[in-house]
Structures are given as C-alpha cells and as structure tokens.
A and B are shown apart, each in its own frame.
Chain A
Amino acid sequence: MKGDKKYIVAFLAPALLLISTFVYYPFLKSLYLSFYRTSGFFDKKFVGLDNYKRMFTDDLLGAATLHTLEIMLYTIVFQVGIALVLAVMVDNISKGKQFFRTVFFFPIVISGAAISLLFVLIYNYQFGMLNNAIAGLGLEKVLWLSETGSLKAVAVPTVWHYVGFYFILFLTAMSKIPADFYEAAKLEGISGIKKTTMLTIPLILSDIKVVLILAITGTLKVFDFVWILSRGQNGTEVLGTYMYKKALVDQNFGYGSTIAIYIVVFGLILSIITNRLLKREEITY
C-alpha cells in the first residue's frame, strides 16, 4: 500500500526503542563491563580477561553453581515428575477434573515473595507450622533451615510453586491425543499403567521436552525463595542471589556482569544439551 513505509517505521519505533534501550544496549554493556574492574559507578579500568579468570577460581561461584544444579535436579525429578503423574491421573478420572485443575494451578498466580513468607512461617523453628505439628505428635522439633538442610528446604517451595504450571501443559497436550488412539488400544486390551507408559507418554514426548527445557532454564532464575527464606546463607547461595550480591550489594559491576554472562552461557549450554539428549522425531497426528 502507498505510504506504508511511514507506518512501518512509526509503528515499530516505540517497541524497538524500548527494547533497544532496556535490553540490547544493557546486554552489550554487561558484556563490555565484564572486561573491566569497577569500583562504584564511575571508576573503571580495563582488565582484559581477569574477571573471567577470577570466575574460574571463585569457590563461592562454584558452590552457587552446584546449589543451582541441585535445585535443578529436584525440579526435573519432582516438579516435572509430580506434574506428569498428576496430569495422567486427572486425564484418567471422570469427575472433578475442573476442580483439580483450579486447585493445582493457583499457586502460579501467587508471587514467589508471598509464598516465601508463607514458608518462613511454616519452617520457623519455635512456632512454625511443621514444628507445631511435630511437637503435637510428641516428637523433637527439627531445625528446617539448618546448615545442611536449608537447600532442600528452599527447594520445596520452588518445586511446589510451579508443579501446577507443568501439570496444565501436560494436561493440554494429553487432551490433544485423538480418541481413536485410545479406542485402538482398548481393542488391543491395553489399559491402565501400560496405556500410560506405551501410549500417552510417547505421544506427548515433545511436550515433555519443552517442559524440561522450561524447568531447567527456569531454575537458573531462582531468586525470590532463596533471598527471602535464607538470603543465600547456610549453603543455599544460587547463581541469581550470588550475582545480586556481587553486582548490587557489593556494587562490583564488573565482576557482577561477568557472572551474569556466565549465567546466560550456562543456560544456553544446558538447553542445547537437553535438546540433544531428547532428540526424537516429532509426532504429528
């Protein structure tokens, strides 16, 4: 159409301007800063790869990486696992489907901060919900946010929060499987667990892959739960909280940026690996 060029520019401009200013430029600037030693905002000195060298010898970063990987393991096994089991079950029942959908999904809409605060009250040593219950049973109270158990304690709300999300993704995928697949299976006498493992799961494999990648990259962004429940102490430091502490609490922008770049690269590598491991033919109905 005539005069379209004017509209193309005018319509794209606001969005591109915002994204460039607050995403592309800062991202490149982070990359740039990762080669500098900084103190405060204005004083910076080019140090080449020093920050990256420091990164490889930084034990705290190593620990944060391991903690993140541990949470990732729980996420893959429990979050995705529970979501899949629940979805299979809801797919197989006839009454109350909608009720379970509603109830399982609702933690998603609640902020991580509010859930963290809830778990502060649940885990509290003296008066928390868990120790209240334990004391009621006449057992000894447990220090939930201890030096050894904190990471697991933080992983629980992290896992719990998003189970419903993957549950819905799985359930949606299952509802797309044509009914005649199941009818054929029924004629063959396949039912129950066999039907699930031989028919349902293979058919939604591509969705399982998507969910796994989401779960893995999502774990790299864990921040709220760790920050509010333990401030990263007692062996719960994860990549997000460590980056926050270095860059914004210590105001070490150079090294903080290096960690941020590390998180991006780490996430890319993990998604590529997952993609490779789960490479399979796509199924179309």
Chain B
Amino acid sequence: MQQVNGVNTVPVERHRSGKRIPLGTLFMYVCLTLWALTTIYPMFWIINNSFKLSTDVMNDSFSIALSPVLTNYETAFDRINIGKAYANSLIMSGATVLLVLVCGGLAAYVLSRFKFRGRNALSSLLVATLLIPAFATVVPVYELLIEWGLVNKYWGLILPHTAGNLTFAILVMTAYMATIPKELEEAAFIDGCNRFNMFTRIFMPIARPVFASASIFVFLWSYNDLFSALIFVNKENVRPIVALLNEISSQYGTDFGLMASAVSLTVVPVLIVYLFIQKYIEKGMTEGAVKG
C-alpha cells in the first residue's frame, strides 16, 4: 500500500519541456494506480480479514485487524489440515517439474542436435499436441489410473501432469538448445566425452536459463490446476491445496475467517517467491504462452 502512495507523490516532470505535469500523464497515472488498487486491495483485504474472528469479518470487513487473532490459522492447520495439502502440492508439483526437466531435457537435446529420419514429423506432431486440452484426455486417463491403482496416489497426478507439460517444455528447450554453438560439443567429443556426459556436462549447464523458465511455468501450472486434481487426487491424504480450497468453499462456506486464512496461506508464499524472482516468472510464464 505504501508503494502506491509513493508513486503518486513522485514528482513527475517531463525532461524535454520542463513544464508542469501534462494533464495526459497525470490521467495515465490515475488510471494505472486505480488498476493497481484492484490487484492490491483485495489481497490486503483478505490477509487483513484472516486475522479477525469470523464474526468480526462479517460485521465489518473493512476495519483493520489491530489486535490480530490466529484462530483462523489454528483451524486451518488443525481441522482442515492445510499443512498436509501444502506438502501434497509441493511433492506432486515438484516431482512433475523434475520429471519434465529430465525427460524433456533429453528429448530436446536429441531434437536440437541429432539428424535422423522422422525428426521434422516428430516436431510437427509435438506442435499439434499443444492443441489437445485436458478435457479431451481426462476420461481415458482416469480409466488407466483406475486400472493401475493410481487414483488418489501421488503418481496419479504426477504422471498426467508430466505428460501434459512435456510437449511445451520440449519445444521451448529445443529452441534454446539449437542456439548453443556446435564447436563446444566437437571439442568435448575430441576430449573423449560420450553423448550422455556431453548432455550432463555441457548442455545442462549452458541451458540453465531455459530449464529455469520451464520449471517455473510447469510448477505454477501444476500447482494451480484444479481440474485434474479434482478427478485424480481428491482424497484427504493426497489432496493438493487447490482441491482443498474447492472443498473449503463447499464445506466451510460460512466460515469467513477460515476462508480468508486459507486463501492467504495459499497466496502469500507464492507472492513472496514472486517478488524475489519476478523476472524469471514473467519470462517463464510468457514463454509458456503457447501452452496456456
């Protein structure tokens, strides 16, 4: 909040004219600040309310929680076990990222470096795969998971999520690796490096930036995906945080304080990470645009 005020008080002067702030510029700052308020204020509102008792939230949701109470957070951890949901989310999304990086990285290395029959066909097939939404695969995947006894197991979400993100990751990584100069490999080859070592010692370190942005995209996508989570892993002991939020909205829809604390607990850690690595997140998410 202070930052918003900060922007308003910044003396905005045009260098070239040296005149007072033109009306147009002032108008732009007003508009931008208003939109900024639509993103900041709801977050402030919900975090603020998470520190109040439900009755106080209902009576006056705008007042500042001057004497914060932790009741809602205690309920969130004790009664609905939000900590467990957190752990589930981290385990499943983390494993998805790892698998995507390993499988996708190897495939991208091959596609960017080896010439073989059917390579172009394979690339086109991968692009076409991006057009298949989760809706069009969910039923047979569900059948498979039932058959293999993976429903309500961690792998029941990890495998479909990995497969769903691999195509995009392979395409992005291939594009990046294609720009790595060939001379490096030739030198390594002369030094007696085999293909696998070449991948782990040369490609992985050089391609770090693309691994980073792919990880971010895949992690956020997997962490935030409600649809698959509802179907594949919706039991209490494996449920990720998004599915828990859905559960809270239907089971505890009247406990305002609890809802506020659950949202805060989901949002705040992500926001803190975001503030630190914003550049990478922006990059990762916009590169992932093709996938959407």
Contact = CB atoms under 8 A, between A and B. Distances in A.
Contacts of A217: 292
Given A26-B141, A260-B136, A11 B274 contact: no
Interface in B25-58: 25, 28-29, 31-32, 35-36, 38-40, 42, 45-46, 49, 57-58
A267 B134 CA distance: 13
A103 B40 contact: yes
A217 B160 CA distance: 21
Contact of B245 (A23, A111, A264): A111
Contact of B38 (A114, A160, A223, A261): A160
Interface string B198-228: 0100000000000000000000100110110
B49 to A, nearest CB: 8
A39 to B, nearest CB: 14
A257 B143 CA distance: 13
Contacts of B60: 132
Given A120-B259, A221-B292, A247 B266 contact: no
Given A93-B32, A121-B260, A264-B131, A248 B138 contact: yes
A69 interface: no
A102 interface: yes
Contacts of A25: 140
Interface residues of B, number: 96
B271 interface: yes
Nearest to B242: A113
A96 B10 contact: yes
Interface stretch (B65-73, B75-83, B246-254): B246-254
Contacts of A198: none
A201 interface: no
Contact of A15 (B132, B170, B226, B249): B170
B278 to A, nearest CB: 6
A285 interface: no
Contacts of A104: 35-36, 39
A117 B262 contact: yes
B90 interface: no
Say what secondary structure dominates the interface of chain A: helix
A247 to B, nearest CB: 5
B175 interface: no
A100 B32 contact: yes
A137 interface: no
A169 to B, nearest CB: 6
A165 B274 contact: no
B128 to A, nearest CB: 10
Contacts of A168: 282, 285-286
A113 B226 contact: yes
A165 B285 contact: yes
B24 to A, nearest CB: 6
Say what secondary structure dominates the interface of chain B: helix
A253 B135 CA distance: 12
B43 to A, nearest CB: 8
A108 B285 CA distance: 9
Nearest to B99: A18
B36 A103 contact: yes
A113 B274 contact: no
Contacts of B167: 19, 23
B137 interface: yes
A194 interface: no
A8 B114 contact: yes
B248 A133 contact: no
Contacts of B36: 99-100, 103-104
A15 B164 CA distance: 11
Interface residues of A, number: 98
A248 B242 contact: no
Contacts of B12: 93-95
Contacts of A86: 31-32, 35
Nearest to B46: A118
Interface in A12-46: 12, 14-16, 18-19, 21-27, 29-30, 33, 41
B120 interface: no
B180 interface: no
Given A15-B106, A111-B223, A92 B28 contact: yes
Nearest to A261: B136
B46 A121 contact: yes
Contacts of A102: 275, 278
A122 to B, nearest CB: 7
B39 A30 contact: no
B10 A223 contact: no
A22 B103 CA distance: 14
A18 B103 contact: yes
Contact of A11 (B24, B107, B132, B142): B107
B274 A106 contact: yes
| Top 8 A-B residue pairs of the complex, sorted by shortest distance between their CB atoms | A22-B163, A26-B140, A111-B224, A29-B140, A26-B137, A15-B107, A127-B58, A11-B106
Given A29-B140, A228-B246, 9 more contacts: A7-B110, A7-B114, A15-B107, A19-B163, A85-B31, A129-B42, A168-B286, A220-B133, A260-B135
10 contacts: A96-B10, A107-B39, A109-B271, A110-B270, A121-B46, A128-B61, A129-B61, A217-B292, A228-B245, A243-B135
